[in-house]
Amino acid sequence: MRALLFSVATDSYDLAVRELRDVFGTRVRVERVSGDLGRITENAPSVEEFAEACGSGRIIFVRHLTMELASFKPNEVPEPHELAELILDELPRHPKGLSVQTWTDGAGTGGSYYHLLEEALGARGIAVSRAGQDVVVSCFVSAKSVILGLNRLEDSLSDWPGGRMRLARSDDRVSRSEFKLEEAIQTFGLELPHGGKALDLGASPGGWTRILRQQGLEVWSVDPGDLDPRVAADRRVHHVKATAGNFFRTNQVKFDVVVNDMRMDQVMSARVMLDAVPQLRRGALAIVTLKGGGRNPLDSARRGLEVLSKEYDVLHARQLHHNRREITVIAKCP
């Protein structure tokens, strides 16, 4: 079996390794390739088993998966046509298209290797793009090695290089936190009910409210603080200057979606979400960030998830690229 490669946030590597061994046993052997990349060298699960554990929230801190094809020293990388043959020999049939995703152990994109593979595969009649194909070629570049990987998109966890999602900045944004909600919607393929009603807890300054409005939802934004004037001016945004608890005591509206990006510890945030349940319609979607920190962020995350599971079906839990020291949880109200 080929070695499995997994990417993580640099400061979450040890947490990911602990999760791996908790789920798949202590005989799993892992080596660190770089700051955000690990390799399972012995007793690896199948990539499908690994992806399922991540998709179900049993493994939180892994962002991207691929199966290693080959590793080279930078000065020993084969000719482009040989790399193309190496990749295509691993596929049962030549596809019409492949995604090629390159990244480095720094801030670079590895763009020169993208273009090298694009030309080499293109010469074989394969259309290459950066995303959107059923099969993903990964290329990780560091000062010591160039590693090629291959995986089906459905088992890759993310359609971005190493799980590093890059979203476009615009003058319309009111906060960086918008990236977190956008990434969650894209990564988990969430379909929000257009024309439905959404509750945004801890909304100020209104970044998540703005994204919910873009999805076609009418939004009740609950926060004692102010909203950005551009968000507050929207007639389908209802700003309630109150704490979540005070809002719950008087509210008469039933919501299809509830989101929570409040700055509080994991368990407190999860308890707020339990208090929100009577305000929700059956089957309502919940999106919440559980903040990290402390000596045992994995245990804290698990406690938060345990609390949420008392009233919600947890669908996904993962540390996304824009999360920093927190995780995003997707859940459904039964």
Q: What distance in Å separates the CA atoms of residue 225 and residue 15, rounded to the nearest whole number?
A: 35
Q: What is the mean pLDDT of residues 275-295?
A: 92
DSSP state for residue 30 in the 8-state scheme: E
Q: How confident is the model at residue 297 (pLDDT cuts 50, 70, 90)?
A: confident
Assigned domain for 239 exists: yes
Q: Note if 197 is an active site residue.
A: no
Same domain, 309 and 192: yes
SS3 300: helix
Give the pLDDT confidence score for residue 293 in this predicted structure. 65
Residue 114 near residue 158 (C-beta atoms within 8 A): no
Assigned domain for 169 exists: no
- Which CATH number covers residue 213? 3.40.50.150
Give the pLDDT confidence score for residue 60 in this predicted structure. 97
Picking from 53-67, 183-197, 286-300, which range would have the lowest pLDDT averaged per residue? 286-300
Residue 294 has pLDDT above 80, yes or no: no
Give the pLDDT confidence score for residue 292 in this predicted structure. 74
CB atoms within 10 A of CB 14: 12
Same domain, 267 and 182: yes
Same domain, 61 and 84: yes
Same domain, 321 and 191: yes
Listed residues 134, 163, 192: the one ending a domain: 163
Q: What is the mean pLDDT of residues 210-234?
A: 97
DSSP state for residue 2 in the 8-state scheme: P
Same domain, 46 and 156: yes
Same domain, 127 and 197: no
pLDDT in tens, 4-28: 999 999 999 999 999 999 999 999 9
**38 has which bridge partners?**
6, 32
Same domain, 11 and 150: yes
Exactly one of 96, 180, 241, 291 is catalytic; name it. 291
Q: What distance in Å separates the CA atoms of residue 221 and residue 199, rounded to the nearest whole number?
A: 6
DSSP state for residue 265 in the 8-state scheme: B
pLDDT in tens, 175-188: 999 999 999 999 99
Picking from 1-5, 107-111, 142-146, which range would have the lowest pLDDT averaged per residue? 107-111
Assigned domain for 170 exists: no
Query: Distances in Å between the alpha carbon of 252 and those of 133, 247, 255, 303?
Result: 45, 10, 10, 31
Residue 68 near residue 148 (C-beta atoms within 8 A): yes
Assigned domain for 247 exists: yes
Q: How confident is the model at residue 166 (pLDDT cuts 50, 70, 90)?
A: confident
Assigned domain for 234 exists: yes
Assigned domain for 187 exists: yes
Q: What distance in Å separates the CA atoms of residue 197 and residue 161, rounded to the nearest whole number?
A: 34
Work out the mean pLDDT of the chain and round it to a whole number. Answer: 94
Same domain, 8 and 152: yes
Same domain, 194 and 305: yes
Which of 208, 212, 157 minimizes the C-alpha distance to 187?
Answer: 157
Assigned domain for 168 exists: no
Structural domain boundaries, residue 305: 178-332
* Cβ within 8 Å of residue 213, ≥6 positions away: 219, 231, 234, 236, 237
Torsion sign across C-alpha atoms 61, 63, 65, 71? negative
Alpha helices by DSSP H, the chain: 13-24, 47-55, 80-88, 111-122, 178-187, 207-214, 229-232, 244-250, 266-276, 297-308
Which of 290, 300, 295, 296 minimizes the C-alpha distance to 324?
Answer: 290
The pLDDT > 70 percentage for the chain reads: 99
Same domain, 151 and 182: no
Q: What is the mean pLDDT of residues 197-212?
A: 97
Q: What is the mean pLDDT of residues 231-254?
A: 97
Listed residues 163, 186, 211: the one ending a domain: 163
Same domain, 96 and 154: yes
Q: For the chain, what is the domain count?
A: 2
Rounded to the nearest 5 percent, the helix, strand and coil shares of the chain are 35, 30, 40
Assigned domain for 13 exists: yes
- Residue length, the chain? 334
pLDDT in tens, 249-261: 999 999 999 999 9
- Which CATH number covers residue 32? 3.30.2130.30
Residue 243 has pLDDT above 90, yes or no: yes
The pLDDT > 90 percentage for the chain reads: 89
Listed residues 101, 130, 163: the one ending a domain: 163
Q: What distance in Å separates the CA atoms of residue 99 and residue 79, rounded to the nearest whole number?
A: 20
Q: What is the mean pLDDT of residues 119-147?
A: 95
Same domain, 185 and 300: yes
Residue 89 has pLDDT above 90, yes or no: yes
Residue the block writes with tokens 């770089």 = 34
